[in-house]
Amino acid sequence: MRYFFLLITVFVCGSCTAQDPYVVLNGVRFTVELAETPDQQALGLMFRENLPDDHGMLFPFPSSVRRSFWMKNTRIPLDIFYFDENLSLVSVSENTPPCRTQRCPSYPSAGPAKYVLELNSGKAAELGVQAGDVLELHLD
């Protein structure tokens, strides 16, 4: 009987564990790291040697403005997705190359963006994204 209660407790508590934040874009789920503070946002994915295929980084901002990202000290090519306050895709910088020099180009959004998602290079093409596609957030 004791094992039965132990099994029930493990099952119930196992379903209560926190889930990593994730997003869904065009039906595909990506586990995301959140860059919420200015320090986290400044660091982003710098100095990383790789990013798992089903992972990314999400930058939530308090307001929608034209955003511009750069790739300084970023070692892996990325696709940078810009979303508005309604989570609608504004634009994408596809196949954005790493930059290891002092002067790096910036990659601006085509319009105001409140959320920025960085995924491995080639994901935009693989997902067939288009302006207006909606990002689903699951951050709890």
pLDDT for 4: 37
Q: Could you count the other beta carbons within 10 Å of the beta carbon of residue 71?
A: 24
Q: Residue 1 falls within a domain, yes or no?
A: no
Global confidence as pTM: 0.86
**Residues spanned by the domain of 54:** 25-138
Residue 107, CB-side half-sphere exposure with 13 Å CA sphere: 21
In whole angstroms, give the CA distance from residue 25 to residue 127: 8
127, part of any domain: yes
- Rounded CA separation 6/4 (Å): 5
Residue 5 belongs to some domain of the structure = no
**Cβ atoms of residues 99 and 46 within 8 Å:** no
8-66 pLDDT, tens digit each: 343 444 444 468 999 999 999 999 999 999 999 999 999 999 999 999 999 999 999 99
pLDDT at 18: 61
**CATH number reported for the structural domain that contains residue 52 in this entry:** 2.60.120.1140
Neighbours of 132 (CB within 10 A): 10
Query: Would residue 11 count as lying in a domain?
Result: no
In this predicted structure, what is the pLDDT of residue 140?
A: 87
13 is a domain residue? no
Residues 91-117 pLDDT 10s: 999 999 999 888 999 999 999 999 999
Number of compact structural domains in the chain: 1
Specify the range with the lowest mean pLDDT, choosing from 3-7, 58-62, 120-124.
3-7
| Separation between Cα atoms, residue 138 and residue 58, nearest integer Å | 11
Chain-centre distance for alpha carbon 103: 25
| 8 falls within a domain | no
Which position has the token pair 């002092």? 102
Residue 17 lies in a domain: no
Instruction: Please tell me the distance from the alpha carbon of residue 80 to that of residue 94, in angstroms, as a whole number.
Output: 7
Nearest to 44 by CA among 91, 124, 104: 104
> Residue 10's Cα: distance from chain center in Å?
32
